[in-house]
Amino acid sequence: MNSPSNSLTDILTRWSPVGRSGLLPALIEAHESRGWLSEETLVDIARGLNVPLAEGYGVADFYAHLYTHPVGKTIIRVCDDVPCYLAGSEKICATIENHLGIRAGETTSDGKFTYEKVPCLGHCDHAPVVMINHQVHENLSETELENLILQSPTSNL
Ligand code: FES
């Protein structure tokens, strides 16, 4: 079975018949195909679904995994809530910063990695927890993290 096309035209063809109800799925599909949502994309989606542009921005801003600025192909999210902090998330953060040469909230200059500190990822009993793109990694050691970064499809470290 073929997966649906993610050209903006195809996305709007799929979701414009349902108008406002299609806003979130259209944003998600556009985000998945482009890696982030540019102003131009948001304008096109808002027009295509006949919703105010501010609503498109509102939805995009509400969901932490929808970016309205360019981000790396690999996004590393480190939980820095208390249980993960107590389990060593600061060492995890230091490992990332040393390997990639960026601080939380930054993207590597080659556009391969974005690194963020985030609130609880819902796996507190397996702290420290890191999410790399859509994959959650529990009880992560610094060595395991280094290996994950090195094995990342976008890595050439
Ligand atoms: S506190 Fe880190 S996953 Fe909940």
- The answer for residues whose C-beta is within 8 angstroms of residue 44's C-beta and 6 or more apart is 8, 12
Contact criterion met (CB below 8 Å) for 39 and 117: no
Could you identify the atom of ligand 1 that is nearest to the CA of residue 121? 3
Residues 56, 79 within the same domain: no
Does the residue 1 lie in any domain?
no
**DSSP 8-state secondary structure symbol assigned to residue 103:** -
By CB atoms closer than 10 A (0-12, 13-18, 19+), residue 98 is exposed
Number of domains in the chain: 2
- So what's the pLDDT on residue 46? 97
Q: What gap in Å lies between CA 71 and CA 126, rounded to an integer?
A: 27
- With a Cβ cut-off of 6 Å, ligand 1 is lined by 79, 81, 83-84, 120-124, 127, 129
Mean pLDDT (whole number) for 57-77: 94
Which one of 41, 62, 83 terminates a domain? 62
Interval between CA 37 and ligand 1 midpoint (Å)? 28
Is position 2 within any domain? Answer: no
Please count the CA atoms within 13 angstroms of the CA of 99 that sit on its side-chain side.
24
DSSP string, 106-140: EE-TTSSEEEEEES--S-GGG-S-EEETTEEE-S-
Q: Which domain holds residue 23?
A: 8-62
Residue to mutate (ligand 1; options 80, 89, 92, 123; most atoms within 8 A of CB): 123
Average pLDDT value for residue range 126-131: 96
Taking the CA of residue 128 as reference, the ligand 1 atom at the shortest distance is 2
Would you say residue 4 has pLDDT above 80?
A: no
Render pLDDT for 26-40 as a digit per residue (tens, 0 to 9). 999 999 999 999 999
Residue 133 pLDDT > 60: yes
Looking at the structure, do residues 104 and 57 belong to the same domain, yes or no?
Answer: no
Q: What is the pTM of this model?
A: 0.81
Which pLDDT value is given to residue 149?
A: 81
| Residues 83 and 144 grouped into a single domain | yes
What is the average per-residue pLDDT within 37-46?
A: 97
Segment 79-103, tens digit of pLDDT: 999 999 999 999 999 999 999 999 9
Identify whether 26 is part of a domain: yes
Whether residue 100 is found in the same domain as residue 128: yes
Residues 86 and 128 in one domain: yes
| 47 within domain boundaries | yes
Q: Per-residue pLDDT tens for 140-149?
A: 888 888 888 8
Q: Give the pLDDT confidence score for residue 141 in this predicted structure.
A: 85
Distance from Cα 53 to the centre of ligand 1, integer Å: 34
Residues of the chain with pLDDT > 70: what percent? 94
